[in-house]
Amino acid sequence: MTMLDTDYKKHADQFTAVVRGQHHNPFSILGLHQAGNARIVRTFQPHASKVDLVDGNGELLANMDRIDPGGLFAAVMPPRKRRYLLQITDVSGDVYTIEDCYRLPSTLGDFDLYLLGEGSDKKIYEKLGAQLRTVDGIDGVRFAVWAPNASRVSVVGDFNRWDGRCHVMRLHPANGLWEIFVPHIGSGAKYKFEITDQQRHLLPVKTDPFARYHEPPPGNASIVFESRFEWSDNDWMSRRTSTPDLGTPISIYEVHLGSWRRKADEHNRYLSYRELAEELVEYVRDMGFTHIELLPVSEHPFDGSWGYQPIGMFAPTQRFGNPDDFRFLIDRCHAAGIGVIVDWVPAHFPRDEHGLARFDGTALYEHEDPRKGEHADWGTLIFNFGRREVVNYLIGSALYWVDEFHIDAIRVDAVASMLYLDYSREDGEWVANEFGGNENLEAVEFLRNLNAELHLHGATSFAEESTAWPGVSRPVDAGGLGFTYKWNMGWMNDTLVYMGENPVHRKFHHDKMTFGLVYAFTENFVLPLSHDEVVHGKSSLIGRMPGDDWQRFANLRAYYGTMYAHPGKKLLFMGSELAQRDEWNHDRSLDWHLLDHEPHRGVQTLLRDLNRVYRETPALYEVDFSGDGFEWINFDDRDNSVFSWIRRDRHGGFVVSVTNLTPVTRPNHRLGVPEGGNYVEIINTDAGRYGGSGVVNGELNAEASESHGRPFSILPTLPPLATILLKKAG
């Protein structure tokens, strides 16, 4: 009996398991192993007709015997030889030479495994997923994935004919990580993970949770990607700090990249990231916005989710180009002085079988209990924030966008759904926390850690949070959630309801416009007129305004004027500056042809001017989050539907804002002002250049006549359905 016969008899069951793809640890069988006084090389090559051992010069070391008809080969390694290659003749007769991945050691060190097991690796994206590496002088890709409850995990791809038996991965049992280094492949290789569950049932093939690039549907493969991009935004990045300056102007243009503008004459195709870097960036710069906010660009399977059901938390969507094309877009934004915010979705994920759902056959990223793990409203699954590996995955994703793509801020979607265990649930459909309450304590801890890390990395954070949860934008060490800013959903809802009222009835709803200023300084608020307000039957913003066409445009212009004068940072969804008449449709471009018509062009001109005046006037942004920057002139002029206030900066400068929300011109409307001198209009939304009636004020002299508790007063004419902003001349 030969050495190979003896070896086969000893390991026959394990060899069969390898051939059937049922062996959970092929590193114990394949590669070079000691067998008594000899060394035996075993390899599984199911698509080979012949395999030989050769040295680095191509000299034959040994012919390998086929010891199993399924494709298992073995040979005795010659004495004193340490290195070998596999020379394979495939079934078509082609001959090629490869390194044996099963002779190579693990590429995850003990410290890596410790941090990953602890859930504290801030650069987890450099450990898991597909990483280009050189091991023992060999170029290739290290694949690693977390699947602690799997009985086998294989990487499959175009490099192994998608055969899950060929590259079964090495298990690190202490933390459930599977890993393998595959030589000779590089950037562009397509791959997925083939997983069998604890009962050895084959699961749907999975996309890599850490993939940096994805194949479009229906393939949905992950793609190995090596960035070759050279950034040119060093000056911009050097100005980022861990302590954000809340006294800066922030005017955000919210954008869905797939529908901002399309190429109608080219089958209605998307603009690419690089085309957007020219057209979108120049438009936003010209309009004077300080930031672009991108609806989620993480890879997602369904266009109709707008990106809010992501499948690739580390991958910019392939719809517009590759990850370096996305880097180019961000780089051009920074060159134009525009900050970039991305919507990011850690609240939930879709059930698509190639994604995270029951990743290793168990509820790995989600909760097993549907009372904790399912969003019935959205048909999605909820991340398990109590699991350190899941938290590490999510925080790693956020930091990846900040560090690798130079994103300036993260806007976290659906925060309320994370904070409350009973969110959108009836009695009996949710599980209380350990203290019997409805607060998701694990999600709270996650958000605090997330925000602390984002700030340390020089980024800011925005919360889309619609409840009265206290301290959303207060520091963690003061008991808050640690967000930099919070969307003011109450302001948005109340003021839009008010603006939808016929002016004759507005005096009965006056508090809708004033109530937001009761709580305006409890958080660091952003005033959002977002995408959610122009879909699902809500109508466009212009469509919500009452009256004839002239009045609708006047109402909208007045509303924008008072928004820019109101405490809080600003956000406007794309198309709102065009007074788009139709609801937003993610499948087509904005209605740019509307700019051929003067009323629409006038609204765009107004927004351009509002952004310019806003940036040039510290009183409109420096003291947004303190009562020191705001005082009412008259909050109770409900019979006239007039609202008047003063905004102040840090150095004594101020602006007077007056809004008349009836279609009646009000001449000589006395307003108390804090100082004497001459006042001039810096914005009048009724100006002819905006499509208004042209009721404007020249220079106004403040009389030494007391009004509204102030020693001086002015007598401006209030245009119909308009906002005016005044400041002292000189």
- The residues carrying an active-site annotation are 413, 464
- Closest-CA residue to 200 (of 150, 243, 163, 160): 150
Q: How far apart are CA 685 and CA 603, in angstroms?
A: 9
Q: How far apart are CA 716 and CA 677, in angstroms?
A: 14
DSSP characters for 248-300?
Answer: S--EEEEE-TTTSSEEGGGTTEEPPHHHHHHHHHHHHHHHT-SEEEESP-EE-
Q: How far apart are CA 414 and CA 233, in angstroms?
A: 31
Helix (H) or strand (E) holding 230: none
What tokens appear for 615 in the block? Answer: 């940036």
**Residue 318 near residue 273 (C-beta atoms within 8 A):** no
**Residue 423 near residue 476 (C-beta atoms within 8 A):** no
DSSP characters for 606-669?
Answer: HHHHHHHHHHH-GGGTTTSSSGGGEEEEEEEETTTTEEEEEEE-TTS-EEEEEEE-SS--BTT-
**Sign of torsion, CA 453 459 463 464?**
negative
Strand partners, 220: none
Question: Assign residue 14 a region: left if phi > 0, alpha if psi is -120 to 50, beta otherwise?
Answer: alpha
Tell me whether residue 10 is exposed, middle or buried, using C-beta atoms within 10 angstroms of its C-beta: 0 to 12, 13 to 18, 19 or more. exposed
Side chain identity at 280, as an amino acid letter?
Answer: L
What tokens appear for 498 in the block? Answer: 């008010």
Side chain identity at 228, as an amino acid letter?
Answer: R
Helices (H), 138-272: 234-238
DSSP characters for 423-472?
Answer: TT--TTSS---TTS-SB-HHHHHHHHHHHHHHHHTT-EEEE---S--TTT
